[in-house]
Chain A
């Protein structure tokens, strides 16, 4: 379980087939009437061999690591059992493939790479955290981060010093370095101030450092011990600008895209930046947009830190751009597009556009200076002919007197009319397998066959956009004559491509179509299977913001001529900060709230709507910690380690019991999960995937303690943790993480993070207070109401697919989508207080800060809130202090309770098998620590998807309740999505004989290809569920997995 593995070969051996069929497999857990035992050939073999291997693995797995990681290990072990054995086999085979997604705490033997170093970071933090745990200072976190930075710097300094020596000494040097680091670390605390100074210097060193890393790899074994001490890493990003020049920028390795993006924009002196973006090439050489709201590192994975700055949204009317510099950049982009052939145009147009280019770059035609060859430097067309050049020159002469800005404007006026202007093309096949191109543009989606437009779907006609595996679907609004909506499906080369199209569509739709953020529901319509949203400004917003730009037109140089172009009067450049203010103002306007750029909604939420909410959360967090250690309520991120371990002990037991059962073989990707710590699963990235899982965890809790009040309350707010906690946590993390980066980052919306991090868990929690606590129930209801009102705003029909199994108990399902909207969140947050459980940040929350991801995940509950400046820890403590005390007790109780329950748990049940699909059905009966099971596999070669369903069911514990119908008090459904996961939480409360029972069912859909650590995600989800509801028990876990085979092997 050491490494996470990148190989996903097994899964994909099957030849790809018909999309339609795959779709059918979606139904998560239909009770299986088919026994999937017919053809059990290959898969079974796999299983068996896998089992054997897994045993080995298990033996080997517990590798010692730093003490803090121990807990994690334990947990991992459990998880690994849970995971399919053959995965493990795979893993061992492909150990050398490092994947970032999961950083196992203890891998000593594997190749040492950057990722590993990163991995070590978490540990470090934990250590530090542990040390710092004693201190009660709130600021501890921040400090630590800074310290880390310093460490880093020092490291580099050391390196530099040493590197002066010679390359030969490198290994030795590395060792020293590690040692030195440790020493330094102790000193660091005093030296926070120096941090800034050293930063600049680092940049130069970075280059050399990269080279060093190569060497470092060889020294893996030596270094591994020292890795632990390494802290925040700086990386140099190379950005290719539109004029072809390079911009280098050093960023902290864990920084988000926006930091880099803003750096670039600042460098360019660009204010209207919403039209632009950074892209990178993934390992398949596909161009991907960098999501600036997410960590760079996670997106680029193993690719180079090499980016391209380019236009993302082509303004349909460039004349409406406010600044000439923006138009200039757009021109540069279009010139690229044209000369590369991406934007096809006729000879005449090439000539005309070329002539405007010359006018803009060179000024008036000068017969003396400008011989015919003066344009040979310019590329006007993919195939530039002499004839074209002559024509260009001829036209150039006619532009005499035109200023560069005018020439650019003319250029754009002509270019914008080109039919392919701003059309982002993607290869695809239609439902009949015919090669087509999907073109995403400002107005909608265009379908091309060769160069012919064969269909077009304007945004208003599109009801829903979704993707599933490598299929991309649009649901079309019925026409006048038609009665029913129709869905059009396209087949993309792989999941990644499908997702890419989907994202581009979501972004374009939001940017161009949604004028006002006042209608958040509109944005929701595009969210299926992913929480991804375009979080930037819409065109309307950016226009509004641009209208507020009040700076003298900046001077800028046009690339080829380096001629100073002064659009108005060459006034000095004004700093960007001005703009951001302006933008902020604009955003604050009635319509704009979605801005990611200058204002973070998050902050607003926390501050304005409810101090209470934040407070409450915080306080809860505090409780938990208290539980574990009994320490003072203030916590440090890291301090919790122990607590976490304790806390998780019960969880892990539960899991273990689940996991003892031998799962059937699964795709190799799952291996990663095993190896990686569960925590790391958080780092899921939604990249193409051929697999989908539906996971349901049912946690049911019978709370017999007199504490029923707290228990019952818990149930309702249960969802809150998932949604809200991440933010606070994120905030703090950001703050600390980016401390050096700067305030700007802090301001960034955290919403993003939430999105990204959302991991999914479905739980059913039953809280059955033995002694009915009137108070408890009342509060609950209130809360529910609140949520309902919220939910009314949101439309989440798109989730339907994923809602295949609504909890039987729930009568009305109301879904609240987690949207980055402040208000909604705020309310949810408020609800949080009542339950301890909720206070735990969801797994997703654990977006790894620079700090330990793993640890965080593990401790999620504990860390997130504390240090945030905004997070009113103080408040929380004060305000909520009393509850805290109470909570402590319950928590403990809960913990033990759950443990006990866990043991009875598993007993198997069901499997589902969708018809047409090749299906493996595995039934695992898992009783109490016993293993196993009957596994039947059925393999039908005809189809390309693989569907597996595993159900773990606890022996019915909830004795009290199920027999009687009870009165349904509340039912709600909450859905949250992230890039690769969708979480649907159904919470139902029923009153039975004076007891209130809360059942929480979480359905987690993890979508992604091999890049995603499904197992980890799953494990994480389970863990989270447990953590979130320590006082509840898991009654059922259903894993439904669909795998698309033989595809997406890139």
Chain B
């Protein structure tokens, strides 16, 4: 179909700066000491890798202090092809984050769709992008405390070309905490029991075949795969410090350019590499 390509071809990335308020009000951040400066540094490394190593056009939305979690930009929109669905995060206060993102996506000439009113069909629907795994062929939506069936239905209505399957999120708070794409047909997944359970469900639900790359650490399960403009496979993954046991697994990916990218501060808040960016493909293939 018009917009089914192998996963990983992206031309643009959208990120949002780390605000001063980083770590405050953030979920799970209560007892943790986060280092704002370190977080900002890590963000800088990420953006640098995306821009210079991978070669994407990078759009950086300035941080806003009033939105302490706005850097988790992945939650705010689900983008596939030319279509972007602005999500409805669980936390009411996060919904304001969408405004800037919406503007950017419109500027990129994406078809930006909303989840609709609070009333009616999508009433009560919640959806966060970090619960959505798009494989290039289909969507898996993790049903978690952040994302419910209603939200998944809206997603399915938005991306009609694709099968949208719901899977329970076991062993993590968000689907992408336990798995991510590691290639056009490769899913990287944690070896935790919960993740395995989720994987089994995904395998049951899919019509397609995926290679599975199992990594021993949860944190390693979230990577960012991008097939760069030069047809090079890039994998941004947590550094060896964060996931010492998983690096060998990444190295099994042949012909990949591995880009260790630290994300430890965001991790403390339950986020991961993929949480920090929205990837977009603006290069039509037809």
| A interface list, Cβ under 8 A from B | 344-349, 351-353, 395, 398, 414-415, 417-419, 443, 449-456, 479
Residues of A within 8 A of B200 (CB): 479
CB < 8 Å neighbour of A346 from B141, B152, B159, B165: B159
Residues of B within 8 A of A454 (CB): 165-166, 205
Given A417-B4, A456-B206, are A349 and B161 also a contact pair (CB < 8 Å)?
yes
Give Cα A6–Cα B163 distance, bound, in whole angstroms: 43
- Contact, CB under 8 Å: A452 / B156: yes
B238 smallest CB distance to A (angstroms)? 30
CB < 8 Å neighbour of A398 from B2, B204, B205, B286: B286
- Give the contact-size bracket for chain B: 20 to 34
- Contact, CB under 8 Å: B3 / A453: no
CB < 8 Å neighbour of A414 from B2, B138, B164: B2
Most buried by A among B81, B82, B164, B207: B207
B177 smallest CB distance to A (angstroms)? 21
Closest 9 CB pairs of A and B: A451-B156, A419-B163, A352-B2, A344-B160, A453-B165, A417-B1, A348-B2, A414-B1, A450-B153
Give Cα A455–Cα B202 distance, bound, in whole angstroms: 9
CB < 8 Å neighbour of A418 from B1, B141, B165, B205: B1
Interface 1/0s, chain B 1-35, versus A by CB < 8 A? Answer: 11110000000000000000000000000000000
- Contact, CB under 8 Å: A452 / B286: no
Residues of B within 8 A of A419 (CB): 138, 161-164
Using a CB-CB cutoff of 8 Å, which residues 155-208 of chain B contact chain A? 156-157, 159-166, 200, 204-207
Find the B residue at minimum CB distance from A441.
Answer: B207
Find the B residue at minimum CB distance from A479.
Answer: B200
Give Cα A419–Cα B81 distance, bound, in whole angstroms: 16
- Contact, CB under 8 Å: B149 / A346: no
A451 smallest CB distance to B (angstroms)? 4
Residues of A within 8 A of B157 (CB): 451
Residues of A within 8 A of B204 (CB): 455-456
Give Cα A349–Cα B160 distance, bound, in whole angstroms: 9
- Contact, CB under 8 Å: B141 / A452: yes
Give Cα A456–Cα B152 distance, bound, in whole angstroms: 17
B81 smallest CB distance to A (angstroms)? 6
Q: Does B65 contact A (CB under 8 A)?
A: no
- Contact, CB under 8 Å: A453 / B205: yes
Q: Does B83 contact A (CB under 8 A)?
A: yes
B121 smallest CB distance to A (angstroms)? 10
Q: Does B111 contact A (CB under 8 A)?
A: yes
B38 smallest CB distance to A (angstroms)? 40
Interface 1/0s, chain B 132-145, versus A by CB < 8 A? Answer: 00000010010000
Find the A residue at minimum CB distance from B2.
Answer: A352
Residues of B within 8 A of A347 (CB): 83, 111
- Contact, CB under 8 Å: B3 / A452: no
Give Cα A450–Cα B149 distance, bound, in whole angstroms: 10
Give Cα A938–Cα B269 distance, bound, in whole angstroms: 65
Residues of A within 8 A of B4 (CB): 417
Residues of A within 8 A of B164 (CB): 419, 451-453
Most buried by A among B138, B163, B200: B163
Main secondary structure of the interface of A (DSSP, over half): mixed
CB < 8 Å neighbour of B161 from A417, A449, A455, A456: A417
| B interface list, Cβ under 8 A from A | 1-4, 81-83, 111, 138, 141, 149, 152-153, 156-157, 159-166, 200, 204-207, 286
Residues of A within 8 A of B152 (CB): 452
- Contact, CB under 8 Å: A455 / B1: no
Residues of A within 8 A of B161 (CB): 344-346, 348-349, 417-419
Main secondary structure of the interface of B (DSSP, over half): mixed
- Contact, CB under 8 Å: B83 / A455: no
Given A348-B81, A398-B286, A443-B207, are A452 and B153 also a contact pair (CB < 8 Å)?
yes
- Contact, CB under 8 Å: A449 / B3: no
B31 smallest CB distance to A (angstroms)? 36
A441 smallest CB distance to B (angstroms)? 8
- Contact, CB under 8 Å: B2 / A351: yes
- Contact, CB under 8 Å: A456 / B2: no
Most buried by A among B82, B157, B161, B206: B161
Residues of B within 8 A of A414 (CB): 1-2
Residues of B within 8 A of A455 (CB): 204-205
Give Cα A454–Cα B205 distance, bound, in whole angstroms: 7
Give Cα A443–Cα B138 distance, bound, in whole angstroms: 16
Find the A residue at minimum CB distance from B154.
Answer: A451
Give Cα A452–Cα B83 distance, bound, in whole angstroms: 19
- Contact, CB under 8 Å: B153 / A456: no
Given A449-B149, A452-B141, are A348 and B205 also a contact pair (CB < 8 Å)?
no
25 A-B residue pairings within 8 Å (CB atoms): A344-B160, A345-B1, A346-B81, A346-B161, A347-B83, A347-B111, A348-B3, A348-B82, A349-B2, A349-B3, A352-B1, A353-B2, A395-B286, A417-B161, A419-B138, A419-B162, A419-B163, A449-B149, A450-B156, A452-B156, A452-B166, A453-B166, A454-B165, A454-B166, A456-B204
Residues of B within 8 A of A344 (CB): 160-161
- Beyond A345-B161, A348-B161, A456-B207, 15 additional contacts (C-beta under 8 Å) are A344-B161, A346-B161, A348-B81, A352-B2, A353-B2, A398-B286, A415-B1, A417-B4, A419-B163, A449-B149, A450-B149, A452-B149, A453-B205, A454-B166, A455-B205
Residues of A within 8 A of B206 (CB): 456
Residues of B within 8 A of A453 (CB): 163-166, 205
Residues of B within 8 A of A418 (CB): 1, 161
Residues of B within 8 A of A443 (CB): 207
A725 smallest CB distance to B (angstroms)? 45
Most buried by A among B82, B159, B165: B165
B164 smallest CB distance to A (angstroms)? 6
Find the A residue at minimum CB distance from B159.
Answer: A346
Residues of A within 8 A of B2 (CB): 346, 348-349, 351-353, 414
Residues of A within 8 A of B153 (CB): 450-452
Give Cα A353–Cα B1 distance, bound, in whole angstroms: 8
A391 smallest CB distance to B (angstroms)? 10
Residues of A within 8 A of B166 (CB): 452-454
B130 smallest CB distance to A (angstroms)? 18
Find the A residue at minimum CB distance from B141.
Answer: A452
Give Cα A479–Cα B196 distance, bound, in whole angstroms: 14
A637 smallest CB distance to B (angstroms)? 53
A518 smallest CB distance to B (angstroms)? 27
CB < 8 Å neighbour of B3 from A346, A415, A451: A346
Find the B residue at minimum CB distance from A351.
Answer: B2
B61 smallest CB distance to A (angstroms)? 26
Residues of A within 8 A of B138 (CB): 419
Most buried by B among A345, A417, A419: A419
Find the B residue at minimum CB distance from A450.
Answer: B153
Find the B residue at minimum CB distance from A348.
Answer: B2
Give Cα A456–Cα B138 distance, bound, in whole angstroms: 14
Give Cα A352–Cα B81 distance, bound, in whole angstroms: 14
Give Cα A761–Cα B4 distance, bound, in whole angstroms: 56
Find the B residue at minimum CB distance from A395.
Answer: B286
Find the B residue at minimum CB distance from A398.
Answer: B286
- Contact, CB under 8 Å: A345 / B160: yes
Most buried by B among A351, A352, A353, A450: A450
Residues of A within 8 A of B205 (CB): 453-456
Find the A residue at minimum CB distance from B140.
Answer: A453
A138 smallest CB distance to B (angstroms)? 57
Residues of B within 8 A of A398 (CB): 286
B85 smallest CB distance to A (angstroms)? 11
Residues of A within 8 A of B149 (CB): 449-450, 452
Find the A residue at minimum CB distance from B167.
Answer: A454
Find the A residue at minimum CB distance from B203.
Answer: A456
Find the A residue at minimum CB distance from B3.
Answer: A348
Give Cα A344–Cα B83 distance, bound, in whole angstroms: 16
Most buried by B among A346, A353, A417, A455: A346
Residues of B within 8 A of A452 (CB): 141, 149, 152-153, 156, 164-166
Give Cα A449–Cα B143 distance, bound, in whole angstroms: 14
Find the B residue at minimum CB distance from A453.
Answer: B165
Give Cα A351–Cα B164 distance, bound, in whole angstroms: 21
